[in-house]
Amino acid sequence: MSITLTDQDKITLWTAAWGAVSLMSAAGAAGSAHRAGTEGSIALTSATGLVGHVLAKKPKGAKLNGKSVAELADTVLPALTAAMSLLKEQAPAEAGNFRSTVIIAIDAATRTHQGEPSPTMAEMARKITEALDAA
């Protein structure tokens, strides 16, 4: 069965995944925001399947804006839940692929720090995981 996502579906998936990496990068600003963003980005660009195709190219109209981490989170966290909901409905196997891709990306971003992740990064990872699992 071929799955066809609308342009809005693609924007939602892209915003959710790339936004999660952006949130992890912001949470790691005290250490190395650039390294966290790079490691998370590598994980997203390594995705396969339908999810990999969607994440490989920024859809027209997709934006990740915010003057603060709170504003970014107001967009990204609901997008994570929405992405999981739409994939569970349209392509259950891809829902698992999406969730594991995002989890790997946040783990990669977190591992850029020596030893344990900072409390800030651990809390952001918890919020992202909670949003994924809310669907």
Closest CA to 5 of 77, 14, 133: 14
Alpha helices in 47-118 (DSSP H): 49-56, 69-90, 92-110
**How far from chain centre, in Å, is Cα 65?**
15
Confidence (pTM):
0.92
Q: How far is it, in rounded angstroms, from Cα 135 to Cα 87?
A: 10
pLDDT tens, position by position, for the chain (135 residues)?
Answer: 468 899 999 999 999 999 999 999 998 765 677 788 888 899 999 999 999 999 999 999 998 988 899 999 999 999 999 999 999 999 998 999 999 999 999 998 887 656 677 888 899 999 999 999 998
Please state, as a whole number, how many other Cβ atoms lie within 10 Å of the Cβ of residue 114. 7
Residue 128 contacts residue 20 (beta carbons within 8 Å): yes
12 secondary structure, DSSP code: H
